[in-house]
Amino acid sequence: MFRMWAKMWKDAKLLRDMVVEDSAEDNRTKKVFRAIEQVCREFDLAKPIWLENNIRDFRRRSKTRFSRDNFTEEIPFDYLEIVMLEEDS
């Protein structure tokens, strides 16, 4: 089972969070992008732009943060953090 946790933070306080589960037979990248799409729909956000530091962090630690630099519109929070909870074996 694939599970990813998305958390929206402002002033060091958790505003919203959700866990996305995916049991499809796809690769990790497709599942991550699909999960982010689901989070953005639920939180009413535009999809974030993956910068080099996001890719590097996600590959190394299975988590990353999307801040104002990652969005094309204003956001009412400091950052959106995604964390892998569980990956298919």
**Collapsing DSSP states into helix, strand and coil, what is residue 15?**
strand
Hey, what's the torsion of the CAs at 72, 44, 54, 16, to 10 degrees? Answer: 140
Domain ranges of the chain: 2-86
Nearest CA to 20 out of 51, 41, 49 is that of: 41
* Burial classification of residue 32, based on how many CB atoms lie within 10 Å of its CB (0-12 exposed, 13-18 middle, 19 or more buried): buried
Res 30: pLDDT: 94
β-sheet bridge partners, residue 7: 17, 81
What's the pLDDT at 89?
Answer: 57
Residue with tokens 């799409």: 37
Position 88 scores a pLDDT of 72
**Per residue of the chain (89 residues), what is the pLDDT tens digit?**
899 999 999 999 999 999 999 999 989 899 999 999 999 999 999 999 999 999 999 999 999 999 999 999 999 999 999 999 998 75
Of 12, 5, 1, the C-alpha closest to 77 is: 12
Q: φ and ψ at 6, to 5 degrees?
A: -110, 135
pTM over 0.85: yes
Give residue 9's pLDDT. 98
